[in-house]
Amino acid sequence: MGVEIEKKYLLKNDSWKDKVSNSTAFKQGYLNDTDNSGNKSSVRIRIEGDSANINIKSMTLSITRQEYEYPIPLNDAEKLLNDLCNKPLIEKTRHIVYYEECKWEIDEFEGDNKGLVVAEIELQNEKDDVPLPEWIGVEVSDQEKYYNVCLVKNPYSQWSK
């Protein structure tokens, strides 16, 4: 079984930007209803740079979720995103930053979610204690609105400030 253990954080400042080792543009969409009411899983199509995949992830609100991901042809992904996925699509740039041998993925959103920046770190175990860089802010792993699947129905641009 595929399992993802991941924590999400907001950022305190932009000091992470000068530590980026590489960045990749992402475009993704969801094939199933993204309102979370009664769904057991989300089905995502993602284009990541020059590759594409389909991803099935359990809809539990937890840092540990079932996850299955498989490569698909890029042309198929483009067609699925354009014709079958819920809108708006999620557009973001993922920046990779290493801190004390930990790999941080920082997603800088565009489009309807422009202005939102979230850092994620994958863990081997829920109890793992990772060193937090000075630019890491509050943890939002338990806040549904920060999940990509929720940003389709409730984009950051519509949040009250």
Record the tokens describing residue 86, joined without a space.
């819920």
What is the model's pLDDT at position 14? 96
Residues 6+ apart with CB under 8 A from 3: 64, 65, 66, 67
Record the tokens describing residue 64, joined without a space.
């540990």
Ordered alpha helix ranges (H), 5-161: 74-83, 148-153
Which residue, 99, 135, 98, 143, is CA-closest to 7?
143
Active site residues: 30
Q: Which domain holds residue 150?
A: 3-158
CA angle (11, 96, 40) in 5-degree steps: 75
What is the model's pLDDT at position 3? 86
- Give kind and range of the element (H or E) at residue 31: none
- Give kind and range of the element (H or E) at residue 116: none
Query: Is the predicted pLDDT of residue 15 greater than 90, yes or no?
Result: yes
Task: State the CATH number of the domain containing residue 72.
Answer: 2.40.320.10
Work out how many domains the chain is built from and give that number.
1
Long-range CB contacts for residues 137-140, cutoff 8 Å, separation at least 24: 137/9, 137/10, 137/11, 137/12, 138/9, 138/10, 139/7, 139/8, 139/9, 140/8, 140/9, 140/10
Q: Confidence class of residue 103 from pLDDT cuts 50, 70 and 90? A: very high
Tens of pLDDT, residue by residue over 120-156, are 999 998 888 899 999 999 999 999 999 999 999 999 9
